[in-house]
Amino acid sequence: MYSLYNVRRWGSLAPHLVLEELDVPYQNIWMTPETVRDPAFRDLSPSGLIPVLRLDDGRTVMESAAIVTFLGDAHPGAGLAPRPGTADHAVYLGWLSFMSSNLYGALNLAISPETFAPDEAASAALKSRAVERTHELFDIVEAKLRQEGPWLLGDSFSAGDLYLFMLAMWAEPSEAALHERCPWIGAVCNGVRERPRLAAAIEAHGVGKVGGPLG
């Protein structure tokens, strides 16, 4: 049975939603920012970061995109990812990688610039540019959805839409502002919230309604 180490509204949100959509047995282990910082957690996550998925054999998988990709491929009957080796799967991986490599990092900079800046002035400048960059990147996803939507894979809902939902929760200055600027992304988020299997997990993460600024 899988075990997911999970912090509310953190990078474990998308893997949590994927597990719920798959309807497979798993253990959800709620963590807090304090318990994540415990040195003992590095036995599971050498980076000290959430999420972590523990497998049946005791090994662990780090990184939200890797976990989402693995789960979709490991349970093909659920239809959350195209069949590996197909052109559709290549496109799917491309968008997952784009979001995890570009948007995720830019959002981290926008939300916590002080982690990377030496003083308040540098932090403010970094935050301003990072927010601009997240807008540019979200706009790329918006254009994809507008041209080929309603989902990232056209008419087919996938785990990529759950990953996009997670990133939208972190949008600056707010998710609501993102929906106003990018209505196709907003429609994906609304569609995710309407999926019956996800209701409990969405409620547990406190993202059942379109959100304002993170706080």
What total number of domains does the chain contain? 2
- Which DSSP category does 151 fall into? B
Q: First CA to last CA across the chain, in angstroms?
A: 34
Q: Are residues 63 and 140 in the same domain?
A: no
Q: Hey, is 38 helix, strand or coil? A: coil
Q: Are residues 46 and 133 in the same domain?
A: no
Give per-residue pLDDT as tens, 54-104: 999 999 999 999 999 999 999 999 999 999 999 999 999 999 999 999 999
Q: Given the structure tokens 């981290």, which residue do they identify?
A: 108
Q: Are residues 99 and 48 in the same domain?
A: no
Who wins on pLDDT, 214 or 49?
A: 49
**CATH (domain of 133):** 1.20.1050.10
* pTM for this prediction: 0.96
Interval 166-181 mean pLDDT:
97
Q: Is 20 exposed, middle or buried (0-12, 13-18, 19+ CB in 10 A)?
A: buried
Let me know: does 173 contact 131? Beta carbons within 8 Å: yes
Q: Are residues 111 and 49 in the same domain?
A: no
Distance, in Å, from the CA atom of 54 to the CA atom of 126, rounded to the nearest integer, reads: 35
Q: Are residues 72 and 13 in the same domain?
A: yes
Confidence bin at 116 (pLDDT 50/70/90): confident
Q: Are residues 101 and 181 in the same domain?
A: yes
Distance, in Å, from the CA atom of 206 to the CA atom of 108, rounded to the nearest integer, reads: 19
Q: Are residues 71 and 99 in the same domain?
A: no
Q: Are residues 70 and 107 in the same domain?
A: no
pLDDT at 214: 57
pLDDT at 25 over 70: yes
Residue where one domain finishes, among candidates 78, 100, 132: 78
Helix (H) or strand (E) holding 206: none
How confident is the prediction for the chain on average, in pLDDT?
Answer: 95
Helix (H) or strand (E) holding 35: helix 33-36
Distance, in Å, from the CA atom of 18 to the CA atom of 24, rounded to the nearest integer, reads: 10
> Is 35 a domain residue?
yes
> Is 208 a domain residue?
no
Interval 26-50 mean pLDDT:
93
Strand (E) positions, the chain?
2-6, 26-30, 52-54, 60-62
Q: Are residues 94 and 164 in the same domain?
A: yes
> Is 213 a domain residue?
no
Domain of 54, in residue numbers: 2-78
Question: For 36-45, 90-99, 176-185, which range has the lowest pLDDT when averaged over its residues?
Answer: 36-45
Residue where one domain finishes, among candidates 41, 57, 78: 78
Q: Are residues 113 and 177 in the same domain?
A: yes
> Is 215 a domain residue?
no
In degrees and rounded to multiples of 5, residue 168 shows phi and psi of: -65, -30
Q: Are residues 144 and 66 in the same domain?
A: no
Q: Is 81 exposed, middle or buried (0-12, 13-18, 19+ CB in 10 A)?
A: buried
